[in-house]
Structure 1
Amino acid sequence: MLRILRPTTASRFIRFYSSETTSHVTPNFKKEPLTPLAKHLRDSVKVTGPLSLSHFMREVLVNPLKGYYMEGDVFGKQGDFVTSPEISQVFGELCGIWYLTEWMRLGRPDKTQLIEFGPGRGTLMSDMLRTLSQFPHFYKTITDVHLVEASPGLRKMQRAALVKGSGDKDVTRIEGNEHEAPIETITRQDGVRVSWHDGIEVVPDQWSFVMAHEFFDALPIHSFEKTGSEWREMMVDMDDTEESEHNFRIVKSPNPTAMTKSYLSDKKFDIDFKDGDRVDISPDCWGVMEKIAQYLDRNGGSGLAIDYGQDYIQGDTLRAIKDHKIIHPMCDPGSADLSADVDFSFLKQAILQGSGVSAYGPITQKDFLQSLGIQARIEQLFKNAKSSAARKTLLDGAERLMDPELMGRIYKVLAFSKEPNTIKEEPVGFEKKKCLLESDK
């Protein structure tokens, strides 16, 4: 789930906060209060020792003890960051048009459904459905919308955006087995069912469109630093010193961890990196994308992953955002968003290994939106705008989405689809951008 105020290159500020470089920090800070979540994290460190960044991120973002995303609305000017669909309706409209072109490219199936991961306020899905409803031959094929969302507060906001005027009494809860939470379902006036799930594992099998917009950046990472000829994992430990106001600090593991051995055994990590370099790896990103690919391989369909990041492995990209500003990632856990740059090369490997799904890109957000006709749509809306203020908002929003110095370049778009052998053309915007595994090149 992303955020406008992202640096356009990988941030290096985590190194400043590692345990080896705190001697120059002004002493005698007053410590932050220990919230219930911070106390839980402190107790975990006392029992198990320093936590991996992955474990820390997961607890901070989705722990029921006031995890960041569990409370509700964190988006918009009054929240901590602004997402692309909140900037301009055109973003969601053009994403909807892309899915329409995919429906036509892949054979116009009779039944389709939409699956979105991390739907935020529901703005993106609402804009896509509104746009797609203008194409009745396609829209009548949509039976369901499935939203993969962990936050009870955000589920309520999504329901308000997608099913106007609905209340708790309108929601049907379908009990799962002992390992599954109840599935919440509600039907829109146009007959499309909207359901909420904890994961794609419980989404019914059907030909599907998948959207993962600003979702992968919020999945936990493991971070490693090259130390001599070995790699050391960066961990989160208690900070009981008077040199920082924070209760936690990032430290380097004294020995290789199990995760180090699992993910950095490839010889390329010895050859391509020098002492002091860092790399971020997200097994969660791989796991989710692999499940998406297997789902589409089984059922057919197409999807998009849109996020900020690069098409190669990076390091030192963990950051926290609060009130539209980047802050220390150890500050008051649960009060700020934590995220990291997405490694799109990693997502492509997860798609291509073990499934028959094709991957395309990534391309920049600017190129993606241009290929779908953003200029023509902006001109149309500009002519119909009823005030100078509305016209200015429209143009400012388009600039933020497209400007390479803002969101146009750092945001990337990866497409993936299960294609019949008879399909020869690529998805709109991804002509000649088909990806291959190294062994297939």
Structure 2
Amino acid sequence: MRLDRFMALCNARYYATRDPLGRAGDFVTAPEMTQAFGELIGAWCAAVWQSLGRPDPVLLAEAGPGRGTLMADALRLADRVAPDFAAAARVHLIETSPVLRAAQDRLLRGRVAAWHDGIGTLPEGPLLLIANEFLDALPVRQFLAGGRERAVGLDGDRLVWTSVAATDAPGPGERSDAACAWTGMLAARIARQGGAALVIDYGHAGGAADTLQAVRDHAPADPLVAPGEADLTAHVDFAAVAAAARAVGSAVHGPVPQGAFLRALGLPERTAMLCRAARPETARQLQAAARRLMDADAMGLLFKAVAITQPGLPTPPGFAP
């Protein structure tokens, strides 16, 4: 079985059967670390909505929304400081997991207009879409020397790495076909109907050979042991993703390092404000989370932000040279 097929099957089962987030799960994402992250994304969406001409209604969508924490924080911020935007927003979530859909419904308390399995069923109209740590879970292909492609086989009752012939081998390296296809579909819609998307993920600028990783219980795991019980991801090829968006007529801003992006949006200042009203232990946690998100030796450089916008839109916040 080709690697991308194996990865897709494993992650489909994994996400359908559990809430993977938090201490009791397998990993933690930025929205779960600090409310400031989602609040800044909410402010970003409100600012871009203004540059779009304040469309009413506007679709506010998130791909892979986890428990709904980012969206809840974004909406709380919008309710307080951008009520016109909050009133215009129609929330749509792209989520296939019934477990996570239930968690999102509990947290967002009636503010979700609809859930979707993919971009294709989103209603027509201007769109603001957030995708935080979504593309990394889409399957990748890994090409080997000699026109071969990485695959998974059986040795007795054990899964083992093997290879199959690749008729379309471009030469050795990893390719994000699924991420590029998804981005191309999103960007084509944005170019046609208007709007913008913010993509934040860990990744590189192309040329990687093997970034596949499995995580279970907050630690690295063997991807071939207990398939469907660990989170399988790969680093996003941002050069390829940006090219896919430009190829269908959208404008692309970035990628920029997550640390620089969040500093430009005001994460240090927002964290300081939250700390002034927090208990000492909570303040320490908020400060540690901000450092983790921004520091170069943590998530600040490995994670990157890209904005995909309709042609002619001003440079979005956080992406100015």
Q: TM-score, normalised by structure 1?
A: 0.70
Q: Is the 8 A contact 1:106 1:419 kept in 2?
A: no
Question: In 1, Cα distance between the equivalents of 2:60 and 2:66?
Answer: 15
Aligned to 2:223: 329
Aligned to 1:223: 142
Question: In 2, Cα distance between the equivalents of 1:317 and 1:430?
Answer: 26
Question: In 2, Cα distance between the equivalents of 1:231 and 1:305?
Answer: 32
Aligned to 1:21: none
Aligned to 1:92: 38
Question: In 1, Cα distance between the equivalents of 2:86 and 2:97?
Answer: 28
Residue range with higher mean Cα deviation, 79-88 or 374-383 = 374-383
Paired residue for 1:139, among 86, 107, 110? 86
Higher share of residues assigned strand: 2
| Aligned residues with identical type, % of pairs | 38
Asked if 1:362 is matched to 2:308, the reply is: no
- After TM superposition, give the deviation of residue 110 of structure 1 in Å: 2.7
- After TM superposition, give the deviation of residue 354 of structure 1 in Å: 2.2
Paired residue for 1:235, among 122, 147, 151? 151
Question: In 2, Cα distance between the equivalents of 1:83 and 1:98?
Answer: 19
Q: Is the 8 A contact 1:313 1:345 kept in 2?
A: no
Question: In 1, Cα distance between the equivalents of 2:104 and 2:168?
Answer: 36
Higher share of residues assigned helix: 2
Q: TM-score, normalised by structure 2?
A: 0.96
- After TM superposition, give the deviation of residue 194 of structure 1 in Å: 2.5
Structure 1: gaps (5+ residues): 1-50, 164-187, 241-245, 270-277, 433-441
Q: Is the 8 A contact 1:115 1:209 kept in 2?
A: yes
- After TM superposition, give the deviation of residue 193 of structure 1 in Å: 4.3
Judging changes above 3 Å, is the alpha-carbon distance between structure 1 residues 259 and 333 closer, same or farther for their aligned structure 2 residues? farther
Aligned to 1:177: none
Question: In 1, Cα distance between the equivalents of 2:248 and 2:95?
Answer: 26
Q: Is the 8 A contact 1:96 1:132 kept in 2?
A: yes
Aligned to 2:25: 79
- After TM superposition, give the deviation of residue 328 of structure 1 in Å: 1.1
Q: Is the 8 A contact 1:382 1:394 kept in 2?
A: yes
Paired residue for 2:108, among 155, 162, 173? 162
Q: Is the 8 A contact 2:133 2:202 kept in 1?
A: yes
Q: Is the 8 A contact 2:48 2:316 kept in 1?
A: yes
Question: In 2, Cα distance between the equivalents of 1:72 and 1:158?
Answer: 13
Asked if 1:394 is matched to 2:286, the reply is: yes
Aligned to 1:293: 187
In terms of Rg, which structure is larger? 1
Superposed CA RMSD = 1.4
Question: In 2, Cα distance between the equivalents of 1:87 and 1:313?
Answer: 31
Question: In 1, Cα distance between the equivalents of 2:293 and 2:147?
Answer: 38
Task: Write the mapping of 1:12-23 to structure 2, written as runs, cut at 5 A.
Answer: none
**Letter matched to residue 115 of structure 2:** W
Q: Is the 8 A contact 2:105 2:112 kept in 1?
A: no
**Letter matched to residue 215 of structure 2:** I
Aligned to 1:199: 118
Q: Is the 8 A contact 1:115 1:210 kept in 2?
A: yes
**Letter matched to residue 234 of structure 1:** R
Task: Write the mapping of 1:2-401 to structure 2, written as runs, cut at 5 A.
Answer: 51-62=1-12, 67-134=13-80, 135-142=82-89, 144-163=90-109, 188=110, 192-226=111-145, 230-240=146-156, 247-253=158-164, 256-260=165-169, 264=170, 269=171, 278-355=172-249, 357-385=250-278, 387-401=279-293
**Letter matched to residue 58 of structure 1:** A
Question: In 2, Cα distance between the equivalents of 1:346 and 1:373?
Answer: 29
Q: Is the 8 A contact 1:221 1:283 kept in 2?
A: yes
Question: In 2, Cα distance between the equivalents of 1:193 and 1:88?
Answer: 22
Alpha-carbon displacement from aligned partner over 1:231-274 (angstroms, at most 9, x marks no partner): 3201100122xxxxx72111133xx32342xxx1xxxx5xxxxx
Alpha-carbon displacement from aligned partner over 1:64-91 (angstroms, at most 9, x marks no partner): xxx1111121111111000000011111
Structure 2: gaps (5+ residues): none
**Letter matched to residue 92 of structure 1:** G
